[in-house]
Homo-oligomer: A and B are copies of this chain.
Amino acid sequence: MSLKNDIAAFLAKEFPQTKVTLEEVGPMSAIVRHKIGVEELRPGGAVSGPVMMAVADVALYVAILGEIGLEALTVTTNLSMNFLRKPSADADIIGECRLLKLGKRLAVGEVTIYSEGMIEPVAHAVGTYSIPPRVAEE
């Protein structure tokens, strides 16, 4: 199995409710997708904020898993979102994560969030995950 498949299977087990799916995982990076349908839209056609927060959270999580291996105990400690533009009601949401730091105890990354096909981002996030101590390390 590839790393991508391993992480996708792990994600499905750890976050069974999530609709976020893994597109790519690379060095210090990941790309995820959230299909947009009626359930993700508010009246008027706006993609709801929690959908974009879920994209940011999962994108960070899988980028970290790609570096440290499948580690369920890793938890979000901080997530800061800026909502920039109204997303399209007709396009999936894509999150592109780049890790800024991967330390022994903390990982920090940014996620740029797009409506698929739009050039300008609809949101931007920065998040911190706490990584549990490994045996015989700290």
User: A: which residues have CB within 8 A of B?
Assistant: 13-17, 39-40, 42-44, 48-50, 53-54, 57, 72, 75-85, 100-101, 105-106, 108, 110, 112, 120-121, 124, 126, 128, 130, 133, 138
Given A75-B83, A128-B82, A54-B43 contact (CB < 8 Å): no
State the number of copies, please. 4
A100 touches B80 (CB 8 A): no
- What is the interface of chain A mostly: helix, strand, loop, or mixed? mixed
A54 to B52, CA, bound (A): 11
Which of B15, B112, B126 has a CB less than 8 Å from the CB of A80?
A: B126
Q: Select from chain B the residue with minimum beta-carbon distance to A43.
A: B14
A121 touches B138 (CB 8 A): no
A15 to B43, CA, bound (A): 7
Contacts of A124 in B (CB 8 A): 100, 108, 110, 126
